[in-house]
A and B are shown apart, each in its own frame.
Chain A
Amino acid sequence: MSSRNGEEVMSTWKKKSILASIVFGASVLLVSTPGLSADQPKILVVYPYLGDQSFVRMHAASVAEAAKFPEVKIDIVAGPDRTNVEYFISSINKAVTEHYNVLVLNHGGAAAQLYPALRKVQDQGIKVVAFDTGLPELAGHSADVLYDNYAAAKVAGALFASLLPEGGKIGILRCLLGNPDTDAFVNGFKEAIKDTKLTVAAEADSKCDPAQSRTMAENMLTANPDLVGIYDSVDVSAQGSLQALKAAHSKAILGSIGGQMYGAQAIAAGTNWKFTVPYRFEEIGKIAVDTGVSVAKGESVPAKVVIPPSEPVTPENAAQYVKDLKARLGG
Chain B
Amino acid sequence: MSIGGQGSVPGSERNSAAADDGAGQHWGMTVALGLVQLGPAFILVVLMVVLSLLSPYFLTIRNMQNLGAQTAIVCALALGQLLVIVVRGVDVSVGSVIALTVVIVGRLMEAGYENGLLHIATFLLVGACVGAVNGFLIVKGGIPQPLIVTVATLGVVRGMALLISGGQEHIGMSPIVETAGNAVFDGIPVPAILVLAVTLLLGLFTLRTQWGRWIYAVGGNPDAAAWLGVPRDRVVMSAYIICGTTAGFAGLIYAGRTDAASPLAGAGMELDAITAVIIGGASLFGGRGHVVNVILGALIIGAIRNGLNLMNVSPFWEAIAIGVSILAALELDVLRRFVETRLRARAARLLQ
**Could you list which residues of chain A lie within 8 angstroms of chain B, going by C-beta atoms?**
49-53, 55-56, 80, 174, 177, 201-205, 207-211, 214-216, 218-220, 222-223, 236, 239-240, 243, 247, 260, 262, 265
* Cβ contact within 8 Å between A50 and B162: yes
Selected from B63, B259, B262, the residue in CB contact (under 8 A) with A222 is: B63
Chain B contacts for A222, CB-based, 8 A: 57, 60, 62-63, 66, 310
- Contact partner, A53, options B57, B168, B305, Cβ 8 Å: B168
- Interchain nearest-CB distance for B114 vs A (Å): 17
Which residues of B sit under 8 angstroms from A174, Cβ to Cβ?
315
List 13 interface pairs A-B (beta carbons < 8 Å), by A numbering: A50-B167, A52-B263, A53-B168, A201-B312, A205-B318, A210-B262, A211-B73, A218-B66, A219-B306, A222-B57, A236-B169, A236-B262, A240-B257
Q: In the bound complex, do residue A239 and residue B171 qualify as a contact, i.e. CB atoms below 8 Å apart?
A: yes
Q: Are B182 and A220 in contact (CB under 8 A)?
A: no
Q: How many inter-chain contacts with C-beta < 8 Å in the A-B complex?
A: 105
Q: Which chain B residue has the least Cβ–Cβ distance from A210?
A: B258
Known: A219-B63, A239-B258, A240-B260. 8 other contacts (CB 8 A): A51-B167, A203-B314, A208-B264, A215-B66, A222-B57, A223-B309, A260-B169, A262-B260
Contacts of B185 in A (CB 8 A): none
Complex Cα gap A300–B254 (Å): 50
Residues on B with beta carbons closer than 8 Å to the beta carbon of A51: 162, 167, 263-264
Taking CB atoms, residues of chain B closer than 8 Å to A210 are: 258, 260, 262, 265
Chain A residues closer than 8 Å to B264, beta-carbon distance? 51-52, 208-209, 236
A215 with B167: CB separation less than 8 A: no
Closest B residue, CB atoms, query A54: B167
Cβ–Cβ < 8 Å partners of A247 in chain B: 182
Q: Indicate if B4 sits at the interface (CB-CB under 8 A).
A: no
Nearest opposing residue in chain B for A219, CB measure: B309
In the bound complex, CA of A289 to CA of B55 (Å): 52
Determine the distance from Cα of A50 to Cα of B164 in the docked complex, in whole angstroms. 12
Q: Does B199 contact A (CB under 8 A)?
A: no
Q: Which of A50, A53, A55, A211 is close to B257, meaning CB atoms less than 8 Å apart?
A: A211
Interface string of B228-251 (1 = CB under 8 A from A): 000000000000000000000000
B323 on interface, CB distance cutoff 8 Å: no
Q: Identify which of residues 295-335 in chain B touch chain A, using a CB-to-CB cut-off of 8 Å.
A: 305-306, 309-312, 314-316, 318
- In the assembled complex, the Cα of A88 lies from the Cα of B344 at a distance in Å of 58
Task: Kindly list chain B residues whose C-beta atoms are within 8 Å of the C-beta of A204.
Answer: 309, 315, 318
Tell me, rounded to whole Å, the shortest Cβ–Cβ distance linking A85 to chain B.
Answer: 16
Known: A209-B267, A214-B257, A239-B169. A202 touches B162 (CB 8 A): no
Separation of A177 and B314 alpha carbons in the complex (Å) = 11
**A80 contacts across to B, CB distance below 8 A:** 155, 158-159
B122 adjacent to chain A (CB < 8 Å):
no
Task: Provide the bound-state CA to CA distance between A288 and B199, in Å.
Answer: 52
Output the least CB separation between B77 and chain A (Å). Answer: 12
Which chain A positions have C-beta within 8 A of B63?
219, 222
In the A-B complex, list the 9 residue pairs whose CB atoms are closest, starting with the nearest.
A219-B309, A205-B315, A50-B167, A262-B171, A210-B258, A56-B167, A223-B310, A218-B66, A215-B70
Interface residue ranges of B49-72 to A (CB < 8 Å)? 55, 57, 60, 62-63, 66, 69-70
Q: Determine how close the nearest CB of chain A comes to the CB of B209; give it in whole angstroms.
A: 33
**A200 to B126 Cα, complex, angstroms:** 43
Binary CB contact string for chain B from 19 to 61 against chain A (1 if under 8 A, 0 otherwise) = 0000000000000000000000000000000000001010010
Please, which residues of chain B bring their CB within 8 A of the CB of A265? 171
Determine whether the beta carbon of B263 is less than 8 Å from that of A219: no
Cβ distance B273 to chain A, nearest Cβ, rounded Å: 14
* Cβ–Cβ < 8 Å partners of B73 in chain A: 211
What CA separation (Å) do A53 and B165 show in the bound complex?
Answer: 10
Q: How far is the CA of A49 from the CA of B163 in the complex (A)?
A: 11
**Known contacts A177-B316, A211-B73; is-contact A243 B182 (Cβ 8 Å):** yes
Chain A residues with Cβ below 8 Å from B268 are 207
Q: Which of B63, B182, B309 has the most CB of A within 10 A?
A: B309
* Chain B residues numbered 122-180 whose CB sits less than 8 Å from any CB in chain A: 155, 158-159, 162, 166-169, 171
Q: Which chain B residues border A52 with CB–CB below 8 Å?
A: 167-169, 262-264
- A209 to B99: give the CA distance in the assembly, Å: 11
The reply to whether B162 and A211 form a contact with Cβ atoms under 8 Å apart is no
For the complex, give the distance between the alpha carbons of A215 and B262 in Å. Answer: 16
